[in-house]
Amino acid sequence: MQLGYKITDSVMTVSLSGNFIRYDSDTVQEKMLAALEENSPKRLKFDSGGLGRWDSTLVVVLFSLINSARTRNIPVDKASLPENLRSLLDLSFSVRRNPVTSRKEKLPPVERLGEWGCVSWQGITRGLHFIGLSLKSLFRLFAGRAVMRGVDFLFALEDCSYKAVGIVSLVSFMVGLILAFVGAIQLRIFGVEIYVSSLVTIAMTRIMGAIMAGIIMAGRTGASYAATIGSMQVNEEIDALKTMGIPVGDFLVLPRIGSLIITMPLLTMLSDFMGMLGGSLVGVVMLGIPLSEYMQYSLNSFHLGNFLIGIFHGFIYGFVISVCGCYYGVYCGRDADSVGVATTKAVVSSIVWMIVVTGFLTIIFEGMEL
């Protein structure tokens, strides 16, 4: 392969001969760029009469040379180059490598408020529509008409059942321990440390066990739902399902909602038990309460109504977490960054809506004197 140049009458001619396969010598290329900069010819042309086989490395060499000439407003004559080589060079220069980012016009306060209202209303209607589709999928499941594979349901059930036992147990145990320790600080003033057992039992069974299990599953499983379905959106797999006439709600959303609704009450019970176990560690070891007495007070404080309320919270949290995760996955953008954004929104929205739902349920249960 040979790559040379000559300058005659302010015209720089680059000669190409031989085969350019995996051309890796930068010496001649650097000399040509230096000569182009020093002599500033009036025109740049090519002589490719002896050019044989070539690959993309030749395109890279000629691109850098032509680009340098264009920056110096030197006309380039590519007429002698092969047609396919000219096409590749034209294509390489047709791409804008530094796109201009358009600045968003700053609107007046009233218009910004109106825009925020429109966007919020669109989000609310889209969310309600998605919840409606999810509920329809559940009704079709009960009617035996849902398009759902059993293996998908079992896979989702495996992911959010025994695989989550370790993290739920550890966190709930530590929460129960902290509740007992903080409660003991105040109860010790009145000399009634024994009621630490009652405090931990009531708190864990009524609400704290469900909340801790919900927060853990929102960060673990809800984020997984959003990332998995969001990746399918990026890879256009969801579009393929719609093209084949497969309901996305049945095929993707329903297995995840069903599995989390089933497992969340069970994880809530596990969280209740581990929280009470953590509280007993503080009561027996740190406060010196006899184990039999601590257990007796815990049993006396255990109320079936509180326990069922906690289980019901876990059931509702399972629906909220799965819907939020699937929603942000289905409505994810088309690039890799959108998957991360969808995952973050799924976790945040799940926790926020869990707290909102807890507030409403608390008001309802207090009104019913439960």
Q: How many structural domains comprise the chain?
A: 2
Dihedral sign for Cα 341, 344, 347, 353, please. negative
Q: What are the C-alpha distances in Å from 47 to residues 57, 81, 86, 230, 248?
A: 18, 7, 13, 52, 59
Report yes or no on 54 lying in a domain.
Answer: yes
Cα distance between residue 155 and residue 255, in whole Å: 9
Max avg pLDDT among 14-18, 219-223, 243-247:
219-223
* pLDDT value at residue 28: 64
Q: What is the pLDDT of residues 237-279, one digit of tens each?
A: 888 888 888 888 888 899 999 999 999 999 999 999 999 999 9
Question: Domain limits at 62?
Answer: 2-94
Alpha carbon dihedral 193, 194, 199, 205, in 10-degree steps, equals 150
CATH number where 39 lies: 3.30.750.24
Report yes or no on 180 lying in a domain.
Answer: yes
Nearest residue to 211 via CA among 183, 171, 252:
171
Q: Is the pLDDT confidence value at 306 over 70?
A: yes
| DSSP string across 130-152 | HHHHHHHHHHHHHTT-----HHH
Percentage of the chain exceeding pLDDT 90: 32
* pLDDT value at residue 242: 85
Report yes or no on 113 lying in a domain.
Answer: no
Cα distance between residue 149 and residue 155, in whole Å: 10
- Residue 214 and residue 82 in one domain: no
Report yes or no on 119 lying in a domain.
Answer: no
Q: How far apart are the first and last CA of the chain?
A: 89
pLDDT band at 22 (very low <50, low <70, confident <90, very high): low
- If you average pLDDT over residues 341-366, what whole number do you get? 92
- Residue 325 and residue 283 in one domain: yes
Q: Is the pLDDT confidence value at 171 over 90?
A: yes
* pLDDT value at residue 90: 83
- Residue 44 and residue 169 in one domain: no
Least confident piece of the model among 44-48, 104-108, 166-170, 173-177: 104-108
- Residue 89 and residue 214 in one domain: no
pTM, 2 dp: 0.70
Least confident piece of the model among 11-25, 116-130, 162-176: 11-25
Q: Is the pLDDT confidence value at 107 over 80?
A: no
Q: What is the pLDDT of residues 317-333, one digit of tens each?
A: 999 999 999 999 998 88
Q: Is the pLDDT confidence value at 154 over 80?
A: yes
* pLDDT value at residue 208: 92
pLDDT band at 100 (very low <50, low <70, confident <90, very high): low
**If you ran DSSP here, which 8-state letter would residue 160 be given?**
T
* pLDDT value at residue 204: 92
pLDDT band at 104 (very low <50, low <70, confident <90, very high): low
* pLDDT value at residue 14: 80
Percentage of the chain exceeding pLDDT 70: 94
- Residue 44 and residue 159 in one domain: no
* pLDDT value at residue 35: 74
Picking from 46, 78, 94, the residue at the C-terminal end of a domain is 94
* pLDDT value at residue 318: 93
